[in-house]
Amino acid sequence: MTRPLLILVTGAPCAGKTTLARHIADKFRLPLIAKDDIKETLFDWLGWKDREWSKQLGRATMRLLFYFVESQLAAGHSCIVESNFRAEMAAAEFRALQAKHDFVSVQVVLKCERDVLVQRIRARWDLGKRHLATLITW
């Protein structure tokens, strides 16, 4: 049996992670598990309260993200996962997944100039594409 492939797409907010991850998912017909898609859905259903609430939803979002990734890997399916992973937190999660499921991983790290990132964040906010709490993550 072929080992599943886990493609991790990470980088700063507004660096182009989701755009690239969606392109890869479409090109190779792979499921995409994207942090902001999960968090936006939670905000749509549960609403906004304050910054602490946003942090709680962020933690819940990451638990769900890893749950969905593990579900794919446990079924032997390849997938793409996209988030602005923090190495100190995510490394242990990915090591635990690797210990439980035999998969191959590829990591893509996107970088972008800070002023371009700020411009993109402002544009998203102006267009109303995201909840404010998902834009302010750093």
d(CA 105, CA 125): 33
Q: For strand 104-110 and strand 32-34, is the pairing parallel, antiparallel, or unpaired?
A: unpaired
Contact predicate 84/12, CB 8 Å: yes
For residue 128, the domain's CATH number is: 3.40.50.300
- The reported pLDDT for the residue numbered 131 is 52
Residues of the domain holding 41: 5-135
Q: How many domains does the chain have?
A: 1
- Residue, of 1 and 11, whose pLDDT is higher: 11
Per-residue model confidence as pLDDT tens digits over 15-68? 889 999 999 999 999 999 999 999 989 988 888 788 888 889 989 999 999 999
- Spacing of C-alpha 111 from chain mean position: 15
The helix or strand, by DSSP H or E, that contains position 23, with its residue range, turns out to be helix 17-28
pLDDT for the residue numbered 138:
39
